[in-house]
Each structure stands twice: as C-alpha cells, then as structure tokens.
Amino acid sequence: MGVKTKLLSTLFDDKTINVIQKLLNKKDIFYLRDLSRESKVSLATTYRIIQKCLEIGLVEKQIQGKFTFYKIKRDSDAFQSLYEMLVGKPEDLLSNLRKRLSPARLFFSKKDKSKFFVVGKNINKGKVEFHIKSEAEKIGIEPKILFLSPEQFQEMRQMGMLEELI
C-alpha cells in the first residue's frame, strides 16, 4: 500500500474515498444518484459528501427545473490541491511524459492544463497522443494537442504567443 493510499484511508472512511475517486473521473455534469450507484455508497451518504465538496468549492450545483446536476470544478483551488495530493503536481505529470516522449519536447499551458504543445521533427503522433491521453484521462482532462516543428515553435515564442508555457 502506497503512502498516499495509506494516508487517505487513515484520514477518510472508505465511502468518502469511493465517492471522491468516482467524482474525480467525472468529465461533465452528473446526477447524485449516478455517483451514488457508481461508488456503491448510499444516496444519503453521497449527498453529505457532495455537500462538503460544495462548501470547499470542489463541485458546483446546477438546478434546471426539477433536476439538480453537479459538476466538478477542475479549475478550482480545491481540485488542484486534491489532484496534487492524489496524483502529484502537474509538473510531475509533465516530467513523466517528457521522459516517455523524448526526443520530442513537451509543454503545457499554465492557464489551461488541457493544452499540450509537442515540438519536434518526425514525431510519432499516434504514440504521443496515446501517452498524453492516457495520462490526462487519469485526472479527467480532455487534452488538446498541438504538434509544432521547432521552427514554428520559435516563431510563435518570438511573437509572444507561448509565454504561458511550462
């Protein structure tokens, strides 16, 4: 058992961990009942957990007529902190991908972690897309990938178009 897993299982009960794990995999809006069913946690318990998530800004509530939907706020500080605790810092993700995809150079936007820039010549686009998508899927990100030649990358950087890259 990893240190993170042991820490989480000590601090939180299994029901909370199950709900949070399923919640982090949500890509769009979801119903409370679906989350309850997927996590195998009672509706009342799931509701209490989601109320705590609302309080800290991890999810937002949307009411449309008689229906209540929820959506995870991936750009919130709460999501970023939880993500770093469970998965690691985005820079760690980038570092791991860079090792796998060498000699291509890989960057992503500081503002929008779903935007990936791959720089190089004769890049196996299929392999790169596979690795980026598989890593991004773990954290619920739908990646947007732009392939650039080194010359294109330099021109865009000189124009100030790529200032927000890590």
pLDDT higher at 68 or 162: 68
Compute the distance between CA of residue 106 and CA of residue 34 in angstroms, rounded to an integer. 36
Q: pLDDT of 39-77, one tens digit each? A: 999 999 999 999 999 999 999 999 999 999 999 888 788
What does the pLDDT read at residue 165? Answer: 67
Q: Which of 27-31, 76-80, 102-106, 118-122 has the highest mean pLDDT?
A: 118-122
What would the pLDDT profile of 113-138 be if each residue is shown by its tens digit? 788 889 999 888 998 899 888 877 76
pLDDT at 1: 47
Is the Cβ–Cβ distance between 133 and 27 less than 8 Å?
no
* Average pLDDT score over residue span 140-152: 87
d(CA 85, CA 134): 19
106 touches 116 (CB < 8 A): yes
Indicate the DSSP class of residue 2: -
Identify the structural domains of the chain with CATH numbers, from first to last.
3-77 (1.10.10.10), 89-158 (3.30.70)
Looking at residue 45, what is its pLDDT? 95
Q: Which of 6-15, 37-46, 99-108 has the highest mean pLDDT?
A: 37-46
pLDDT score at 51? 96
